[in-house]
Structure 1
């Protein structure tokens, strides 16, 4: 067969066939009149090279596969030398993934830092402390009915105050521990579809509400106030500084508290698991009261304040 027929049967261009010839992967036969001719073995070889290219193995590395076919094997990857190319290619892909992951993390970090610098304090408050209309209202699904009266697990978690907080030994008196999914940053998009998830929107508004009523909460019997999420301490620290929060945030990146207490969680775009919004009143290592579901979050601190007033020690 002529080169045009070979290219057609192997579903490649004539230019590709000539390239494979230059690499020595295939060698045409010569007729007495000098014309080059190809056979079915050449078709198999070119198809093999094309399929390898489709999965990222360059024709420059296809030699062992073609040689394997020339030895009479049904498939080009039945030889040890071909398997070695697979392993090398996988290792190369792993290196690329690691490099891209590092690059993405660096880009994300720079985005978050620059976004914070690009907005004034006033703009940050305007964007993240108001709730859009029409948010879906979460319903009580009974997911926390088992919590009241439960002992707080013996967990030690880092906080933005530079301390390790032992949840089962918070100290005398009452502690308000509010759990939230994640806080956004000015100029950084929230997860896709965030506003359509009942109870998801409003973490910064909730934090500001606790900030604005922090002293009243203390005066009414809350010895301590903490926020808790699965975001990193570094991420939380930026929020504490930007929103001027007078209390610390606790980071639970592995969500060990959720697993220990069987707390409700949910998934969102880019996040396999996030805390559902709820608040625990903890006293002497025991959960005294639970607020769930919480809506709207931008007035939740007032709800906690009312409960403390109605239930003095």
Structure 2
């Protein structure tokens, strides 16, 4: 554990959230560069979604990460862990300086989230496709025990090609899990994929870009909405609607968030080559300027 002040940022407006998300994206790039390993594209596409959850939507207290009444969060696409850790650090679960230990052998911040190590991690993930099932189990247990909390799960669009996801999609409405919300980070790119077609957004065919996911989820009995996953007004509105449905609708909710992989930096955005990778010092200077407005100065 790294010694240092544990400080949570405050966020009152969409502009505050956007500033925190830019800082979070910088932490992703800087940490991966220092550790010389890690994923970049997925953490940056999901950053706005996670910042809005932890800073505005979820009932959580960093000083009491095991509070039994807290909302639960699962990052099903666990390879995006550095984005998750950046948000947890900025929210005050541990010092931001601890990000420097990412992926080290004795670190609490491993390459995939570990609920036994890291404050704020509710479910260990990494094997793709399992997070929604875990979330449904937690939501069902909450119903059975009369607990009043919400379970939120972020999924990757490539990840939802896994069959286990659809088993949960089918059964969750049967159990009336209106305390479960899935958020699909529809960033349009996988690490590998087919060449893009004219209707794809980026440089590889979108995993679910040619499927009407909102219609599919609605057909299976979910409350479904599609949003711009980088517009904080739309994100917060969708979260508020999912919260309003909890305990009332009898249906789980899904938010299909159209995002850009590698969002926020010119050389990472919209290219499958930055699913993972290690930025050079020159690229870090570019990223620092684009995200935070100044050039990175290395002592």
TM-based fold match above 0.5: no
Return the index of the structure with the highest Cα Rg.
1
In terms of fraction of residues, the more strand-rich structure is 1
Higher relative contact order (CA 8 A, sep 6+): 2
